[in-house]
Amino acid sequence: MRLLSRADILEALEALSEELPEDSPVEIFVGGGAALVLLYNAREATKDVDAVVVASANPSAVRGAAQRVAEILGLPLDWLNEGAKGYLHGFSPGEVLFQRPHLVVRA
């Protein structure tokens, strides 16, 4: 299993921002291992990016873009997933970890 380092995650998010439709800004909250890697530098790597899309006119476009990024970068197809979504109960916007015109990622 390939682990994703901070550099790998940021490269994937950059690619994701390029794959997203320009007319549909997206905001994502990340948690789990990815938040520990990106926000706290508490881990070297994680197996995936647990994320919740909190703002998007077209969530399926985000999933499609993530699939294309997986193919382009040779990542697991579930590198960006909502596996932790069920554990989130009431959350507030955290620190911005990554920002581009069409994508904002917060922890």
Question: What's this model's pTM, rounded to 2 decimal places?
Answer: 0.92
Structure confidence at residue 26 (pLDDT): 94
Predicted local confidence at residue 49, as pLDDT: 96
Cα–Cα dist 107/86, whole Å: 16
**What pLDDT, in 10s, does the model give residues 67-98?**
999 999 999 999 999 887 776 667 677 899 99
- Per-residue pLDDT tens digits for 2-11: 899 999 999 9
pLDDT of residue 14: 98
CA distance 37 to 39: 6
- pLDDT for residue 94: 86
Residue 89's pLDDT is: 67
**17-48 pLDDT, tens digit each:** 999 988 889 999 998 899 999 998 888 999 99
Q: How far apart are CA 25 and CA 34, in angstroms?
A: 21
